[in-house]
Amino acid sequence: MKIKTLILMLCVNDPDNGNHTGRVEAVEFCIPGEFEALIELESSYWDWGPVCRWVKDGKSLRLGRRTFPIRGYSTWVGNWCWDAAIVTVETANRILAYLQSQHDRRGTPYWTVDSGWTEIFDAWERKEPIDLQKYIEG
């Protein structure tokens, strides 16, 4: 069965009080109903991660300098540090490509892989385009 949506887990809330910080420190791309993430990224931005806000129209997510369509959004998912957005696999691929392209002037990536499927990690490290659907379907 072809998976059509993924859950984008967003570490956007202050660990001391659960309030939204307006920035994202970690992102996980998850298959609905599965425990293990396809790939987990940590921000290596200086200090805090990039801007991350649920746009008031309820249909989009602002991440850094880009806006992406979403199908749903929930706060305090799992624990109070994490929010979640439901996105199509195509949107997840675009978000992953955007995060993969982010780096400083010296070329140091702003995002590093914390954990994930070996094949996806290897593609990330080789700076190859990643199509999550390909890995989901095997």
- pLDDT, tens digit, 9 for 90 and up, residues 36-87: 899 999 998 756 678 888 887 779 999 989 999 999 999 999 888 999 999 9
Give SS3 for 112.
strand
pTM of the model: 0.91
Q: Over range 8-28, report the average pLDDT.
A: 92
Question: How many structural domains comprise the chain?
Answer: 1
Residue pair 41/112 in contact (Cβ under 8 Å)? The answer is: yes
pLDDT of residue 58: 78
Angle 103-50-61 (CA atoms, 0-180°, nearest 5)?
Answer: 120
Which residue would you say has higher pLDDT here, 138 or 29? 29
Q: What share of the chain is helix, strand, coil (3-state, %, to 5)?
A: 20, 40, 45
Q: What's the burial of 120, exposed, middle or buried (CB within 10 Å: 0-12/13-18/19+)?
A: buried
pLDDT of residue 48: 64
> How far is the CA of 10 from the CAs of 58, 79, 107, in angstroms?
16, 11, 24
For residue 30, give its domain range: 5-137
Binned at pLDDT 50, 70 and 90, residue 104 comes out as confident
pLDDT of residue 93: 97
- Average pLDDT, whole number, for the chain? 89
pLDDT of residue 1: 55
Binned at pLDDT 50, 70 and 90, residue 103 comes out as confident
pLDDT of residue 24: 92
